Amino acid sequence: MKYAGRLAAVAVVGALSLAACGTDNNTGAPAGTTSATAAASSGNDNALSGTINAAGSSAQANAIDQWKKDFQAKNPNVNLNYQPSGSGAGVQAFIQGTVSFAGSDSALKDDKGEPAQADARCKTGKAINLPMVTGPVAVVYNLPGVDGLQLSPKTIAGIFNSTITKWDDAAIKADNPSAKLPSTPIQAFHRSDESGTSDNFTKFLKATAEWPYEPAKAWPAEAKGQGAKGSDQVAASVKGAEGAIGYVELSYAENSQLQKAKVANGSGEFVELTSDSAAKTVEAAEIKGTGNDLKLSIDYATKAAGAYPIVLVTYEITCEKGLPADQVPLVKSFLGYTASDEGQASLKDLGYAPLPAALLTKVRSAVEAIS
């Protein structure tokens, strides 16, 4: 089913405090370091206590930091330990049972056998992909004197495949007929670590341009370019090198005060990246998962007016059933907060976009089903 319509207006409300009792105890794979207790009858946020270990996507690190601050203010006896180690590392940590949930900018991948491995970790239940953060991906550049740069998907693919090597290349001139472009060499930066950001960026290139490589979390070595670990290092590398270009989530672009290119969508419209323009692409996403597994399929070639086409959705991957008993109330309560009106409202100020209302309703139902 496709979701259309504008994002629902978000109202700041109290955090969801979801208490639950776990029945499954996977003692072979403890994901928390402290036992959790919940006084279900008290309705007191302070009844929760313990530690949640989680890891993964650096794209959502700023969102997690804000959620952690706000959630722990309401639940002072709960500690969230989130390591922004990258989507690939987070998924492996979840499969190995060292974290209670993984943040990943891609859903579990069938071609890598990840769903089956994650289900095996959960033992008595299935692993589920819960979309939680819309993270627009910015094409950032450092080219003094050139404002409002416009790039088509084909041009972006040429730059990152090292076939377009100077800023005054004819392809870039065609996208920017009135701009005065220098002959500065292009330095294209990509993620050196396995990254859901790279996976989504290359999915966009594959769907919209002449990109000869298969989409993947690992950057194709044949495309060359310069690697930097994590979104923060890609942003820092672009900021420090004149003529540089790279791809990072909007929050990193804004925090680093980098210029962002307008990118052409499927209709040829060059669109400025904002939370609202990115949300228009996610609104049309199709759910490919079943039940409470909410894996999405994004149309990177969207022709929707005003839609910015390069987006990623960060998932929280956890067990629908099968978490250690002490982790169930903690994970359920934290993810309940991130999916609450208050949790989603905080995203926009951080350079993310809240989830569309219809999708968010399904996410909340899925979180409620964790046991």
The residue ranking higher by pLDDT, 34 or 357, is: 357
pLDDT value at position 58? 87
Residue 45 has pLDDT above 90, yes or no: no
pLDDT single digits (tens) 252-307: 999 999 999 999 999 999 999 998 899 889 888 899 999 999 999 999 999 999 99
What does the pLDDT average to over 67-78? Answer: 97
pLDDT single digits (tens) 105-162: 899 999 999 999 999 999 999 999 999 999 899 999 999 999 999 999 999 999 999 9
Neighbours of 83 (CB within 10 A): 18
Burial class (CB in 10 A: 0-12, 13-18, 19+), 110: exposed
Element at 69 (helix H, strand E):
helix 61-74
On whether the CB atoms of residues 325 and 21 are closer than 8 A, the answer is: yes
CA 100, CA 49: separation in Å to the nearest integer?
Answer: 15
pLDDT value at position 21? 35
Structure tokens, 215: 């989409």
Q: Look at strands 270-271 and 262-264 and give their pairing.
A: antiparallel
Mean pLDDT of the chain: 88
The residue ranking higher by pLDDT, 32 or 50, is: 50
- The sign of the CA dihedral 121, 122, 123, 127 is negative
Question: Which among 362, 136, 84, 105 is positioned nearest to 248, based on CA atoms?
Answer: 136
pLDDT value at position 284? 83
Ranking 20-24, 137-141, 314-318 by mean pLDDT, the lowest is 20-24
**123 contact partners, CB below 8 Å, separation of at least 6:** 24, 26, 322
What does the pLDDT average to over 79-91? Answer: 94
pLDDT value at position 194? 87
Q: Which residue has the tokens 């209670």?
A: 100
When computed from its CA atoms, the radius of gyration of the chain, rounded to whole angstroms, is 21
pLDDT value at position 6? 35
DSSP states along 116-139:
HHHHHHHSSS-EEEEEEEEEEEEE
Structure tokens, 359: 């999708």
- Domains of the chain with bracketed CATH: 50-135+287-295+313-369 (3.40.190.10), 137-278 (3.40.190.10)
pTM (2 d.p.): 0.74
